[in-house]
Structure 1
Amino acid sequence: MAGLIIHEWIERHGGSENVVDEMAAVFPDADIHCLWSNAPDRFAGHTVSESWIARTPLRKSKAAALPFMPATWARTDVSAADFVLISSHAFAHHAGGRQPADGPQRFVYVHTPARYLWAPELDVRGGNLAARALAPALRRVDRKRAQDGATFAANSDYIRQRMERSWGVEAEVIHPPVRVEYLQSVPSWADRLSAEDAYLFSTLPSEYILGASRFVDYKRLDVAIRAGELAGLPVVLAGAGPQHAELQALADAATVPVIITTRPSDELLFALYQAASLLVFAAVEDFGIMPVEAMALGTPVLVVSEGGASESVLSLEGGIVLDTLNDDQLRRGANSARELDMTRAQAAAAGQFGTARFRQEVLAWTSRLLGDS
């Protein structure tokens, strides 16, 4: 069958791109289409095409391109495909417009309905003047296109519920692929470090609380520092971003040592997971890859109940879920999480969240309508 995989835009790094990697592995003969690609060599063996936006300066600014995205996707011709598999976190689910009776079956894997439209309180882009002005019209179009006849899957139950509220559509849940098998293939990531990373790693305290993500406000890395102070443990922050100076000021004022590691390599991040006493992940995420990675390597996590991260923690019993982040709950949660036996979580992580599991579930989801042909 001639399949077409569609994704918003393609970057060299990104969780949604990792999903498309696995979709391409499930359907190795499928073509791939996107608005633009900044990683032209990412999908070797697949024909990758781009929209007209790729030939304009709009490709350099998602905000500037946003008003053109819905119509561009709706006018995308998908008629030559036997089926279309769409990875959507903005407007890619509009691809092909209204579903004709004799058109290809469309499967849409949803990372989230566009947050700046449907959950602006969680996305700073939703607060700017242009976004507020365009939002009512875009929401009407977005909901209408979502009801044009596609079959949906959500990356978490949290997103499934957002889809039902926003679009009025039902979806099954297929959690995104997490590189559990790869992470667990190395007994000690500390032994894989470069000389420079090995030296940095050797200077870290023997026990510490880890906070890892982009240094932006909604990731709430300040909570990791506060958890360290309440638990009386040093804190390591790993990542990079515009909030670096603010986090450095908090680190300098903290009552426990706080070490900031900028732009860690993958190997160093994995070694930090393995050595940490606890990963504090206070962001409200659609799913949350990092908590699963930490649990797969035997490190308990502390997350908030809102968002998708709590689903993996509760499923694997690999951490503590907090409803509030007041000092008492944070102290109790951090201490309780550090006492957990992570044996079960490590053993179950691949089966529930690994890449092989994702491929199997995507194939089963699409095969129910496509059959074995």
Structure 2
Amino acid sequence: MTGLLVHEWIESSGGAENVLEAMARTFPDADVQCLWNDAPQRFAERTVRETWLARTPLRRHKALALPFALGAWRGLEAGGDYEWMLVSSHLFAHHATLKRQDVPKYVYAHTPARYIWNPELDERGSSAAVRSVSPFFRRIDRRRAQEATAIAANSEFVRQRIRDAWDRDAEVIHPPVAVERILSHPDWRTQVTDDSERRLLDALSRPFILGASRFVPYKRLDLVIAAAEQAGMPAVIAGRGPEESRLRALAERATVPVEIVVSPSDAMLYALLQQAQVFVFPPVEDFGIVPVEAQAAGTPVVTGPVGGQVETFRAGVSGVSADSASAADLARGIRRALDLDAFDPRTATAAFSENAFRQRIEQFVA
């Protein structure tokens, strides 16, 4: 069956883009539609269409583009006679319709738009301007969510959010994680080819705890540093983003050694995951890919008690759910995680492989 894959916008990296790539491998004949494409190399062998927003400066300003996306998704010019649409949505992509074609629309929801439905979890929705228009956006969003033939959620946590926001039920299909790739090398240190990364890896204070994500406020990497101090263990913080300067300042003031690793290569990140004693993940997340990657590397995880990330590990076996996401409770979680027995990484992560995702998403559309 010829289909159309729909995605918000395409970037060079990101969990949602990885889901789109897995969808594309599942449906090799499908075309792709997005608001704009900032990573044309990712789907170079495939037809990718952009909306009119791609020809405007708004493509560089997502927050400003948000109200215009409502209209941009409606009545898309079809490049073929499609039999279905599969929509990867974390904002308004599920609003998409085709001009002169009425086809089944299957929605894979990473989350209903946090801006308007859960501003307490996304600072971008906390401004007075966004709060003032959110009731209008919520009404349209709920109404257009009823158009979907079926909806899949990336976690039970998001499934409940979909019920609350859209008054729809959803099937849970966990997103694909590169577990097979991580499991393919028992020691990722041997795959680190950059000399500066090798030197940094060799010089780290051990044993250490690890925090890894984008350097943005809601990921709460500051709590990883604070929890490491309370647990009396060195910490490594890996990622990149606008919070780098703040995190470096916290690292300099910390009472334990804290290393900031900016933009690690995949091999470096996987080596850090393998070398860490515990991986700490404080945020309330829709799913949480990196905790699964940590388990594939054989490292137990510690998370807060709320969010999709608590569905990614077996408590008391490959991870610990702390009583809260405070530094004190995370530190207690670290101590409990250090006492866990070794677990089998393949068994712990089998449900999150790309093969598992591709089987489920194919059945979902079929």
Q: Same fold (TM over 0.5)?
A: yes
Distance 1:11 1:272 in 2: 25
Structure 1 residue 183 displacement after superposition: 0.8
Contact 2:315 2:321 in 1 (8 A): no
User: Which residue matches 2:290?
Assistant: 290
- Partner deviation per Cα, 1:322-357 (whole Å, 9 max, x = no partner): 23144553332111112222423x022442101111
* Residues 61-90 of structure 1: per-residue CA shift (max 9 Å, x gap): 111211111111122255831011000000
In 2, Cα distance between equivalents of 1:315 and 1:49:
44
> How far apart, CA to CA, are the structure 2 residues paired with 1:316 and 1:340?
7
- Over 3 Å counting, the alpha-carbon distance change for 1:43 and 1:325 in structure 2 is closer
Partner of 1:125: 124
Map 1:295-314; keep pairs closer than 5 Å. 295-314=295-314
Q: Which residue of 1 aligns with 2:7?
A: 7
Q: Which moves more between the two structures, 74-83 or 108-117? A: 74-83
The 2-side partners of 1:74 and 1:252 are apart by: 50
Q: In structure 1, how many angstroms separate the alpha carbons of the residues matched to 2:327 and 2:224?
A: 12
Q: C-alpha distance in 2, partners of 1:97/1:139? A: 22
Distance apart, 1:315 and its partner CA:
7.3
Quote the residue 2:47 is aligned against. Answer: 47
Q: CA deviation at 1:290?
A: 0.5
Tell me the distance in 2 between the aligned counterparts of 1:68 and 1:266: 36
Aligned to 2:29: 29
Larger mean Cα displacement after TM superposition, 197-206 or 166-175: 197-206
Paired position in structure 2 for 1:371: none
For residues 266 and 284 of structure 1, what CA distance do their matches in structure 2 show? 24
Contact 2:248/2:260 (<8 A) preserved: yes
Tell me whether 1:76 sits opposite 2:76 in the alignment: yes
Counterpart in the other structure of 1:115: 114
Shift of residue 365, structure 1, vs aligned partner: 1.3
Identity within the alignment, %: 49
* Bigger Cα displacement from structure 2, 105-114 vs 246-255: 246-255
* Cα distance in 1 between the residues matched to 2:343 and 2:206: 21
Q: How far off is 1:10 after superposition?
A: 0.6
The amino acid of 1:191's aligned partner reads T
Mean CA deviation greater in 310-319 or 129-138: 310-319
Find the counterpart in structure 2 of residue 230 from structure 1.
230
**Conserved 8 A contact 1:350-1:357:** no
- State the shift of 1:273 in Å: 0.5
> Where in structure 2 are the equivalents of 1:142-291 lying within 5 Å?
142-194=141-193, 195-291=195-291
What are the superposed Cα offsets for residues 151-186 of structure 1, whole Å, 9 maximum, x if unpaired? 100001110000000000010100000000011111
Please say if residues 180 and 349 of structure 1, whose CA atoms lie closer than 8 Å, have aligned partners that are also in contact: no
Distance in 2 (alpha carbons) for counterparts of 1:30 and 1:126:
34
Report the Cα distance in structure 2 between the residues aligned to 1:266 and 1:300, rounded to whole angstroms.
19
Alpha-carbon deviation of 1:41?
2.1
Which residue identity is paired with 1:86? V
Give SS of 1:46's match: coil
d(CA) in 2 for partners of 1:69, 1:328 = 42
In 2, Cα distance between the equivalents of 1:81 and 1:287? 31
Tell me: CA distance 1:192–1:129, structure 2 relative to 1, closer, same or farther (3 Å): same
- Report the AA paired with residue 350 of structure 2: G
- Please list every run of 5 or more consecutive structure 1 residues that lacks an aligned counterpart in the other structure: 368-373
1:94 aligns with 2:95: yes
The offset of 1:45, in angstroms, is 2.8
Q: 1:173 to 1:204 in 2, by over 3 A?
A: same
Aligned partners of 1:321 and 1:170: how far apart in 2? 27
Alignment-mate amino acid for residue 42 of structure 2: R
Tell which deviates more after alignment, 110-119 or 43-52: 43-52
Secondary structure in structure 1 of the residue aligned to 2:82: coil
Residues 285 and 307 in structure 1, CA contact (< 8 A), matched pair in contact too:
yes
Q: Amino acid of the residue matched to residue 80 of structure 1?
A: D
Q: Which amino acid aligns with 1:92?
A: A
Contact 1:97 1:148 in 2 (8 A): no
2:319 counterpart letter in structure 1:
G
Q: Classify the secondary structure of the residue corresponding to 2:116.
A: helix
Query: SS state of the match for residue 228, structure 2?
Result: helix
Inter-partner Cα distance in structure 2 for 1:120 and 1:153: 22
Distance 2:270 2:169 in 1: 36
Structure 2 CA distance, aligned partners of 1:348 and 1:186?
16
Question: Which range moves more in the overlay, 289-298 or 142-151?
Answer: 142-151
Match of 2:168, as an amino acid?
Answer: V
Task: Give CA deviations for 1:92-112 in whole Å, capped at 9, x if unaligned.
Answer: 1011189x9x83111100001
- Say which SS state the counterpart of residue 40 (structure 2) adopts: coil
CA distance in 1: counterparts of 2:26 and 2:144, whole angstroms: 26
* Greater than 6 Å deviation, 4+ residue runs: none
Query: What RMSD over aligned residues (CA atoms) do the two structures have, in Å?
Result: 1.9
**8 Å contact 2:85–2:105 — kept in the other structure?**
yes
Check whether the contact 2:10–2:17 (CA below 8 A) recurs between aligned residues.
yes
Q: Deviations over 1:169-227 (max 9, x none)?
A: 01010000000001111111101112221111110022101111122221111221122
